[in-house]
Amino acid sequence: MSSHGSPIPMSSNACGPLSGVANVPGDKSISHRSLILGALSVGETSITGLLEGQDVLDTAKAMRGFGATVTEHGDGKWTVNGVGVGGFAEPDQVIDCGNSGTGVRLIMGAMATSPITVTFTGDASLNGRPMARVTDPLALFGTQSVGREGGRLPMTLVGAANPIPVEYTVPVPSAQVKSAVLLAGLNAPGKTIVIEAEATRDHTERMLAGFGAEISVEETDTGRVITLTGQPELKPQQIDVPRDPSSAAFPVCAALIVPGSDVLVPGIGLNPTRAGLFTTLREMGADLTYENEREEGGEPVADLRARFSPDLKGIEVPPERAASMIDEYPVLSVVASFAEGKTVMRGVKELRVKESDRIDAMAVGLRANGVEVEEGPDWWIVTGRGHGNVQGGATCASHLDHRIAMSFLVLGMATENPVHVDDAGPIATSFPIFEPLMAELGAHITRSAS
């Protein structure tokens, strides 16, 4: 089932060369943070290029529930009139974050040090995901929580009335956990310190600094030590959201595997904590270039040019790169299916607790389409079949996971037989224009009964 309505089955058929310009939507991570930090500022934040996917719309609605005024002006332009750090009102309704782990975990952090009680829920995918990774560190501030067995949503949090700042070492590589602790630290007096052994996406740190918080990051032998001074007055900002590298991954990877393709994906944020996929693809022999490299809003940005790459080779992806491409392994496994040799992906246990168990979802679907996949608890290996040799023909389950749905639709663009997806509805959470954008490039995706 789609998160909001009936399933939307789709089929992807082999197509001719993909060509043209793919203007992908705004970055999902930065969009959530723009709304939340805007709501925690005093005054009006204005945002252009906001991703208007369901995940972000659910965060916008949640911010209204806490008392912020969030207004849509059309064409990706939004304003947020915030209530200030510590100014969140108690919502009179349950906060429904839909499919979004980022939404719920960041919002839990943002409310955790205010004396309010909030009940959170989501769709079947989100209600199956672990929340103790966030509520455990929030308990150190004095936040109480009660949820379902295994720390699952629906869950109620009672914010700490007299929060104390914490020092916390994040036990799993997770930007969501790191960000939840930092957002909670905003309303605690004194210094909150977060230590992460592996660098994860650093948008929260960059944006907190941009909004005027006192925050420092030190690289040490044990990892990144982030120190935030609590109870700042955040100043409203003008934010231009860069286009999402995680969405760019789909037209880029499609162009690499469809013969004759040449696609330009302009204005992509290439923050090093996000760009691991593109480095990996280049190591595999992809014809992928960065054009017009520049800086926008403090983030490195470039236009990506991807062309059909006939000589892709399987590689061993360095495990230390995992955090910088964690959302891109599903579509990487599709490209790996068309490479020569094995692509080995290790150190990726986190893939098992995303919107779906992404290793399992991809392994089952790829095998059904004629690709050999081996897997273990925190690793998987795809044995490529080379171009023109991937059979296709199967129906794949998307498990309420947008990236699984899009990955299998990309697969079908270069297989011998069409690939079917049982429910492509979840794509609307992150990439609502995926279908028309891919059609414009030349893809043959049809809505069909699978």
Active site residues: 327
User: For residues 385 and 403, which CB has a smaller minimum distance to ligand S3P in the complex?
Assistant: 403
- Nearer to ligand S3P by C-beta: 49 or 418? 49
Residue 198 within binding range of ligand S3P, rule CB under 6 A: no
C-beta separation of 46 from 120 below 8 A: no
Q: Determine the Cα–Cα distance for residues 364 and 167; give it in Å rounded to an integer.
A: 41
Does position 326 bind ligand S3P by CB under 6 A? Answer: yes
Query: What is the distance between the alpha carbons of residues 244 and 198, in angstroms, rounded to a whole number?
Result: 22
CB of 62 to ligand S3P, least distance (A): 15
29 makes contact with ligand S3P (CB under 6 A): yes
Q: Which residues pair with 11 in a beta bridge?
A: 420, 446
Among residues 11 and 31, whose Cβ is nearest to ligand S3P?
Answer: 31
Residues 6+ apart with CB under 8 A from 194: 167, 168, 169, 170, 178, 181, 182, 185, 225, 226, 228
From the CB of 389, what's the least distance to ligand S3P, in Å? Answer: 31
Q: Which of residues 399-418 bind ligand S3P (CB under 6 A)?
A: none
| 280 makes contact with ligand S3P (CB under 6 A) | no
Report which of 99, 46, 55, 102 is spatially closest to residue 75, judged by C-alpha positions.
46
Nearer to ligand S3P, 55 or 422 (CB): 55
Number of residues counted as binding ligand S3P (CB under 6 A):
10
- Residues numbered 160-189 forming contacts with ligand S3P, rule: CB under 6 A: 174-176, 179
69-74 and 77-83 strand pairing: antiparallel
Phi, psi of 287 (to 5 degrees): -85, 85
The single residue among 61, 201, 305, 387 that binds ligand S3P, judged by CB under 6 A, is 201
Half-sphere exposure (Cβ direction) of 93: Cα atoms closer than 13 Å: 9
Binding to ligand S3P by CB under 6 A, coded x per residue (else -) over 358-397, reads: ----------------------------------------
**Residue 138 DSSP code:** H
Give the x-and-dash track for 98-137 against ligand S3P (CB under 6 A): ----x-----------------------------------
- CA angle (194, 148, 169) in 5-degree steps: 10
At 288, which amino acid appears? L
Query: What is the nearest approach in angstroms of ligand S3P to the Cβ of residue 446?
Result: 28
Residue 420 touches ligand S3P, criterion: CB under 6 A: no
What's the rounded Cα separation, in Å, for the pair 234 and 209? 9
Considering the complex, what minimum distance in angstroms separates the CB of residue 50 from ligand S3P? 14
Give the footprint of ligand S3P on this chain (CB under 6 A).
29, 102, 174-176, 179, 201, 326-327, 350
